[in-house]
Amino acid sequence: MRKVILRLVVLLLLAVGLAACSEQGSSQNSKGENDSKASKATTEQSGNASEESVEDLFKRVKNNSPTSERVNALKDIAMHYYWYGGDVKKAEKNVFKGITLHGDYDVVEEAFRQASQIDPYDLDLRYSIASAQVLQKDIPGALDTYQEILHLDSKQFNAQLLYGIYSKVQGNEADYQSSFKKLDELNKEKADAYRHRVELVDEKKDATLHTEAPDDISKKNHAFVVLGYALSDEGKMEDTLKERLKVAKKAAEEFPESKMIVSGGVPKKGNTEASVMYEWLADHGIDKDRIIKEDLATDTVENALFSMEIANQENINDITVISSASHMRRALVIFNEIDRMFEKVHDKKSGRQITNMVYMDYDSEKEARKFTKDEELVVYRDLMRASGIWSFPGMQR
């Protein structure tokens, strides 16, 4: 019991610490896998935007309401559509008259845009606009938004950084290099830290994806970390998760001394990804004492953050991440980033080896080796989030 309480306290402190790393906009700090709309939380998860109906939120956006109430209502509308989705036509009719919206993320972007029109000096709102544009793969639009932020405040480190990173994703090496020169002037040490993160992506994009257990897996103080995948609305496993578990079962049988950390929250019908993975592995012969449930994570960043904390608490050193091939490069980048974060927290090198095993969800190994622009985009997007830069400052990492 004491260990559980200690874990929860440490996780809370880490969440606060990561938020404090963000310098987006004002002093406020700032989902694929569980990172996309397909796996948004159900109404079993609560939040400010889910405590009242979307109709009530629409009613709060009135010209005769105080400025802060209108801005907060628009922010709540944005978060409601981000997490739960909704009737886009109803949003057009009630709030965004004269604007054609094509999907939930359009609503998110437009809600933040209208809030920014009301309060143009709140840079966090502009960061949120850019994040909604990144979610829709509108990188030119996001770059323009970061430029707007820099026009208002040229010393915004995160805006300059994100402008450079997404310029690189666009293939604009000149703007990437120019941005980092400006970052050097703002904070050379921090700029170099992000250069190392770019090098991490360059390294992991060529990572070998192992369908069998790597030869160098340690047989001591080692764990397999199985990453979850969104459950159906009925709380059942989809085929993708079942395939990952088949890989995990094989690995567990080959390495009987290794622990198994099953990671994934996002409850559906009372089930979390971790709970159904735990039961599946136990039903297929894996000793329950070997399996550790991590049922708080809602996305890849939290898979890494919370699983690595368990590894530290359980004195587990080396880990092997198990996921789909299409997800693995992103997972490796994020797990290595979180490992570096823990090294800073504890002020010592972990010496941790992070390997991988995959369920091959590509048609061929040749296709699996391709690091596409779309994949590069989500890798960098999540890496920035893992580094402490929230997508929607003060609301959602």
- The residue extents of the domains of the chain are 2-204, 222-364
- Residues pairing with 319 in the sheet: 223, 354
139-152 and 157-169 are packed helices; what angle lies between their axes, rounded to 10 degrees?
160
Residue 195, both tokens:
């250069």
| pLDDT given at position 354 | 97
CATH 1.25.40.10 fits 2-204, yes or no: yes
Give the 3-state secondary structure of residue 17: helix
- For the record, the structure tokens of 288 come out as 């329950």
Q: Which amino acid is at 154?
A: S
Nearest residue to 21 via CA among 377, 345, 339: 345
Position 32 scores a pLDDT of 43
SS3 284: coil
For residue 112 the two structure tokens come to: 């933040």
CA angle 96, 101, 102 (to 5 degrees): 165
What integer pLDDT is reported at residue 97 of this predicted model? 84
**Digits of tens for pLDDT over the chain (397 positions)?**
555 455 554 454 444 444 444 444 433 333 346 554 444 444 344 344 445 688 888 888 877 788 999 999 999 999 999 999 999 998 988 888 888 899 999 999 999 999 999 999 999 999 999 999 999 999 999 999 999 999 999 999 999 999 999 999 999 999 999 999 999 999 999 999 999 999 999 999 999 999 999 988 988 999 999 999 999 999 999 999 999 999 999 999 999 999 999 999 999 999 999 999 999 999 999 999 999 999 999 999 999 999 999 999 999 999 999 999 999 999 999 999 999 999 999 999 999 999 999 999 999 999 999 999 999 999 999 999 999 999 999 999 9
Q: Do domains 2-204 and 222-364 have the same CATH topology?
A: no
> What span, in angstroms and rounded, lies between the C-alpha atoms of 394 and 390?
8
Instruction: Say how far apart CA 8 and CA 45 lie, in whole Å.
Output: 18
Beta bridge partners of 259: 223
The architecture that CATH gives domain 222-364 is 3-Layer(aba) Sandwich (3.40)
How many Å apart are CA 288 and CA 279, to the nearest integer? Answer: 9
Model pLDDT, residue 11: 52
What pLDDT does 17 receive?
A: 46
Tell me the C-alpha distance between 269 and 243, whole Å: 22
Q: Which of 293, 354, 285, 292 is nearest to 318 (CA)?
A: 354
Q: What angle do CA 265, 202, 31 make, to 5 degrees?
A: 25
Number of neighbours of residue 41 by Cβ within 10 angstroms: 18
Q: What is the pLDDT of residue 61?
A: 86
Q: How far apart are the first and last CA of the chain?
A: 29
